[in-house]
Amino acid sequence: MSMLTSKQMVIEKFGEPTFLTNRDDFDEYYYDFGIFRERVNYFDPKISLVSKGDSVYSAVNNEVESQFRIQITKKYIKFHIKGEKVIYWESQAVNFPTKKND
């Protein structure tokens, strides 16, 4: 992302922004890439894994419902452009690797 230093480079790479906001000192180009849903294990510290009635027999025959939560993250890239120059960029949950030519 740091290689994108001009407005023209940003538009060539990503096209027209999803939202364009004109601020006092710069224009904000916002590219919305949707959401990323991820199942995350969740362990409640109040739940004990061992109790007085535990035995090998009871542990095998009792199924415990797994605990998890769904984490939702917005995927976006945001550029602040002053004139023709990119002065700031920010991204979340978006990864665009650059292939190096040998």
For the stretch 63-102, pLDDT in tens is: 555 667 778 889 999 999 999 999 999 998 887 655 444 4
| Token pair in block for residue 23 | 């601020």
- For residue 9, CA distances in Å to 20, 47, 78, 92, 98 come to 16, 53, 14, 20, 14
For the stretch 17-70, pLDDT in tens is: 999 999 999 999 999 998 888 777 765 555 555 554 545 545 555 555 566 777
Single-letter residue type at 40: V
pLDDT at 52: 47
Between β-strands 68-82 and 85-92, what pairing exists: parallel, antiparallel or unpaired? antiparallel
Helix H or strand E encompassing 56: helix 56-61
SS3 state of residue 24: coil
